[in-house]
Amino acid sequence: MSFPSLLIYLSHLSYPVIQTAPQGTAIQKQGPWPQRTWMAGLEELKKKLQPLLFDDLDRVGASTRVPLPEDTCDSYAVSDGGTVNLLSRSLGEYKINEHGFHKRSAGPDELDSDEKAYRCASHEMHIFGPIGNGASSVVERAIFIPVHRILALKKINIFEKEKRQQILNEMRTLCEACCYPGLVEFQGAFYMPDSGQISIALEYMDGGSLADVIRVKKSIPEPVLSHMLQKVLLGLRYLHEVRHLVHRDIKPANLLVNLKGEAKITDFGVSAGLDNTMAMVCYFCTVTYMSPERIRNENYSYAADIWSLGLTILECATGKFPYDVNEGPANLMLQILDDPSPTPPVDTCSLEFCSFINDCLQKDADARPTCEQLLSHPFIKRYAGTEVDLAAYVKSVVDPTERLKQIAEFLRERVCWPE
């Protein structure tokens, strides 16, 4: 029997990722947990996943593996003039250069293809400081000079295949969901030949992420969570029901807030299409918020996002991730598979909130509610008529005057405005 190894990467302890690797690939351990505990957990996990990872068809009769998603980026080219042409049979044609971004939603041979153009030139951007770093991108703050607007620039290298697919996923979702409630707005994109990077210009969410909020506030009150969650559910419902996409990476760091208190979903680079007859298979993702069916490498659908949302909201309400992450990713996955689903503390949480979390964290994916059903949940309805000053709450976490001082200093030193 052949059995593929599990190769686990850790950029941060809170966000380990897992990927199947060819047999014989060495297991690489990172992190402070004891080796014996880590290896014991890994061996137990391998036994649990063994029926799902058989490659020996003579022993199991037929493979239980689902084919991985087809490569969405079928070809790409960079012209001498510095224009990147990304071509996908399913997603269309994308042309990006220093002056902006042009998209055809269907293949280049389609006469009735829908076209969109965004002018967002590199020379019209002035960068003034990083926002954060991810596994595949760097995000910086910039001023878009023509409209005097602050944007977030997400920079991704185009010369790696996986990152090109992420670019297509991100821009496809953002273009088709522009200005939709609960989703971060897309402003355009441009390519810089010198760096080999595509910059995706996004709405700047000046309140940070929900991960930032709970880092400062320790927990988020139920009325605030309920109002923020309503917007998030609208955005997630759009992804599921209209775009037929599974986000696959819902977590506090990917739910951003602005100074108005509006919460929006970001980071669509690992989202995947799903039609009514096909379910996706997990191949690369954040383990921490992963649903049981994804860990077992089974078919999964929109319900996987509902599980991740449930863990995210529970963490926001309590200020603590509900599983023990200190013994490494293998043991974390065993907890998700074997332990009862986490429940909110009944002494500090309302019955409606407990019900909401319990519904989201059903081990059986088919038993989890849809976004549409969650929008009508008693937890959402309970606070719908309650006036909540979301802006004041976010400003208690982020000092907007400090941000304005940074912008003013930048403008004074680096930007010459016309008289």
d(CA 16, CA 201): 27
Query: What value does the mean pLDDT of the chain take?
Result: 74
Are 303 and 310 a contacting pair, CB within 8 Å? no
Residue 363, pLDDT score: 97
Taking a C-beta distance cutoff of 8 angstroms, is the pair 341, 358 a contact? yes
Q: What is the pLDDT of residue 214?
A: 95
> Which residues does 338 contact at the CB level (< 8 Å), separation at least 6?
none
Q: Give the type of residue at 317.
A: A
pLDDT of residue 414: 60
Can you tell me whether residue 114 is helix, strand or coil? coil
> Quick count: other Cβ atoms within 10 Å of Cβ 104?
17
Q: Where are the domains of the chain?
A: 6-60, 75-203, 210-395
Q: Quote the pLDDT of residue 52.
A: 44
| Mean of pLDDT values over 305-334 | 93
CA nearest neighbour of 348 among 323, 375, 314, 374: 314
The pLDDT of residue 156: 78
* DSSP states along 146-163: GGTEEEEEEEEETTSHHH
For residue 345, with 0-12 CB atoms within 10 Å meaning exposed, 13-18 middle and 19 or more buried, which class applies?
A: exposed
The whole-model pTM stands at 0.74
The pLDDT of residue 388: 94
Burial of 31 (0-12, 13-18, 19+ CB in 10 A): middle
Q: For the range 331-337, what are the long-range contacts, defined as Cβ-Cβ under 8 Å and sequence gap of 24 or more?
A: 331/33, 331/37, 331/38, 331/41, 332/16, 332/287, 332/288, 333/18, 333/45, 333/287, 333/290, 333/295, 334/41, 334/44, 334/45, 334/48, 336/290, 336/291, 336/292, 336/295, 337/48, 337/292, 337/295, 337/296
Q: What is the pLDDT of residue 15?
A: 39
- 115-119 β-sheet, strand order: 75-78, 84-88, 92-97, 100-104, 115-119
Higher pLDDT, 294 or 144: 294
344's tokens: 């909110």
Q: What is the mean pLDDT of residues 51-61?
A: 37
In the annotated binding site, the residues are: 154
Q: Is 55 a catalytic residue?
A: no
pLDDT in tens, 345-364: 999 999 999 999 999 999 99
**pLDDT score for 53:** 41
For 9-23, 68-82, 88-102, 350-364, which range has the lowest pLDDT when averaged over its residues?
Answer: 9-23
Can you tell me the mean pLDDT for 259-270? Answer: 84
User: Which among 111-115, 145-149, 212-216 has the top mean pLDDT?
Assistant: 212-216
> What CATH number was assigned to the domain covering residues 75-203?
3.30.200.20
Tell me what pLDDT residue 270 has.
52
pLDDT-based confidence at 213, cuts 50/70/90? very high
Does the CA dihedral 410-412-413-419 come out positive or negative?
Answer: positive
Rg (CA), the chain: 22
Helix pair angle (351-360, 303-318), 10° resolution:
140
Predicted confidence band of residue 74 (pLDDT cuts 50, 70, 90)? very low
* CATH for 210-395, options being 1.10.510.10, 3.40.50.9100, 1.10.3720.10, 3.20.20.70: 1.10.510.10
At 158-203, the pLDDT tens digits run 766 666 666 676 777 777 666 788 999 888 887 777 777 788 888 8
Q: In angstroms, rounded to a whole number, what is the distance separating the alpha carbons of residues 392 and 373? A: 29
Q: Cα separation of 338 and 276, whole Å?
A: 30
Q: Report how far residue 31's alpha carbon sits from residue 77's, in angstroms, rounded to the nearest whole number.
A: 40
pLDDT of residue 406: 67
Q: Whats the size of the chain, residue-wise?
A: 419
Domain 75-203 shares a fold with domain 210-395 = no
Please identify which of the residues 109, 112, 249, 324 carries the catalytic annotation.
249
Question: Which residue positions form the known binding site for ATP?
Answer: 154
Q: Degrees (nearest 5) of the Cα angle 315, 320, 324?
A: 110
- With cut-offs at 50, 70 and 90, classify the pLDDT of residue 44: low
- The Cα 314–Cα 265 span in angstroms is 17
Listed residue (252, 250, 253) closest to 236, CA to CA: 250
